């Protein structure tokens, strides 16, 4: 078991940092909107971002130049097509009882994240959200960024709201950072966290890099694992 993570000497001053899209939800809600309503140009934009030729921030600005949705239409479409992880609500109650804060760090939008939590009856008193924001003016959408800088702290390419930067800030407050993620923009933070739960492409990346992690399928797995340690 000990080989699965780096350092875990003290959970008495720990915080959990989690990605949102594809980690807490089953699908990426941003891709869902971009690909459904942005048409072919949105595929091109995402391809350029994946190749590191376009910043995440610039990409989002370009997507929303062409997408026309009211906030109600935007959220309804996401709620119809995406689901929260089925273990997430229990997980939130569990860590709240243990006094461990959850910080959601996302390159997506706080509109989606907080509405999803509200809809699912998740008590967000113990949850902090660092994400970008969408300003709706009728059916026109403008993305407002959490962090104006688009550069990844670790030089892994543009990651939008750099999770490593947020993690380093949190490191000054918490001794142990437990990170949960699934994708490309989670790589930088996963490299520096004290303990990592990974699924999806993040898992493959960490395996290739030889960075220790604990694989998970859903938040029930994470709760069970932490429960055995606490
Ligand atoms: Mg993700
Ligand atoms: Zn980064």
Report the half-sphere exposure of 149 (CA within 13 A, side-chain side): 10
Are 26 and 78 in contact, with CB atoms under 8 Å apart?
no
CATH code for 2-25+84-229?
3.40.50.1000
Question: What pLDDT, on a 0 to 100 scale, did the predictor assign at position 68?
Answer: 97
Ligand number nearest to the C-alpha of 155? 2
Residue 205: which residues within 8 A CB-CB, separation 6 or more? 184, 187, 190
Residue 85: which residues within 8 A CB-CB, separation 6 or more? 23, 24, 25, 26, 218, 219
Question: What pLDDT, on a 0 to 100 scale, did the predictor assign at position 5?
Answer: 57
- In the reported structure, the alpha carbon of residue 69 is separated from the centroid of ligand 1 by a whole-number distance in angstroms of 23
Ordered per-residue pLDDT tens for the chain, 230 residues: 334 555 555 678 999 999 999 999 999 999 999 999 999 999 999 999 888 788 888 899 999 999 999 999 999 999 999 999 999 999 999 999 999 999 999 999 999 999 999 999 998 888 999 999 999 999 999 999 888 776 777 777 667 788 999 999 999 999 999 999 999 889 999 999 999 999 999 999 999 999 999 999 999 999 999 998 88
- In the reported structure, the alpha carbon of residue 183 is separated from the centroid of ligand 2 by a whole-number distance in angstroms of 12
- In the reported structure, the alpha carbon of residue 20 is separated from the centroid of ligand 1 by a whole-number distance in angstroms of 6
Question: What pLDDT, on a 0 to 100 scale, did the predictor assign at position 8?
Answer: 58
Question: Which sequence spans correspond to the domains of the chain?
Answer: 2-25+84-229
- In the reported structure, the alpha carbon of residue 76 is separated from the centroid of ligand 2 by a whole-number distance in angstroms of 30
Q: What does pTM read for this prediction?
A: 0.93
- In the reported structure, the alpha carbon of residue 33 is separated from the centroid of ligand 1 by a whole-number distance in angstroms of 15
User: Which residues lie at CB < 5 A from ion ligand 2?
Assistant: 152, 159, 162, 164, 188
- In the reported structure, the alpha carbon of residue 161 is separated from the centroid of ligand 2 by a whole-number distance in angstroms of 7
**CA distance between the termini of the chain:** 15
Ligand number nearest to the C-alpha of 19? 1
- In the reported structure, the alpha carbon of residue 182 is separated from the centroid of ligand 1 by a whole-number distance in angstroms of 5
- In the reported structure, the alpha carbon of residue 50 is separated from the centroid of ligand 2 by a whole-number distance in angstroms of 14
Question: What pLDDT, on a 0 to 100 scale, did the predictor assign at position 49?
Answer: 85
Are 94 and 122 in contact, with CB atoms under 8 Å apart?
no
Structure tokens at 174: 């918490």
């Amino acid at each position: 078991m000990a080989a699965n993570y780096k350092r875990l000497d003290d959970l008495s001053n720990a915080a959990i940092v989690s990605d949102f899209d594809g980690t807490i939800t089953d699908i990426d809600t941003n891709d869902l909107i971009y690909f459904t309503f942005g048409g072919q140009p949105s595929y091109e934009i995402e391809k350029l971002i994946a190749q590191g030729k376009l910043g995440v921030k610039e990409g989002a600005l370009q997507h929303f130049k062409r997408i026309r949705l009211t906030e109600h239409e935007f959220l309804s479409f996401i709620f119809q097509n995406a689901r929260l992880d089925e273990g997430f609500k229990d997980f939130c109650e569990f860590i709240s009882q243990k006094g461990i804060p959850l910080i959601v760090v996302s390159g997506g939008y706080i509109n989606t994240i907080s509405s999803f939590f509200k809809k699912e009856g998740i008590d967000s008193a113990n949850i902090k959200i660092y994400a970008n924001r969408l300003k709706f003016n009728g059916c026109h959408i403008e993305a407002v960024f959490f962090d104006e800088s688009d550069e990844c702290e670790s030089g892994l390419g543009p990651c939008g709201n750099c999770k490593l930067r947020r993690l380093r800030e949190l490191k000054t407050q918490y001794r142990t950072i437990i990170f949960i993620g699934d994708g490309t923009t989670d790589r930088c933070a996963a490299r520096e966290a004290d303990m990592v739960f990974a699924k999806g492409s993040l898992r493959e990346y960490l395996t290739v890099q030889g960075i220790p992690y604990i694989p998970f399928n859903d938040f029930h797995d994470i709760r069970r694992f932490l429960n055995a340690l606490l």
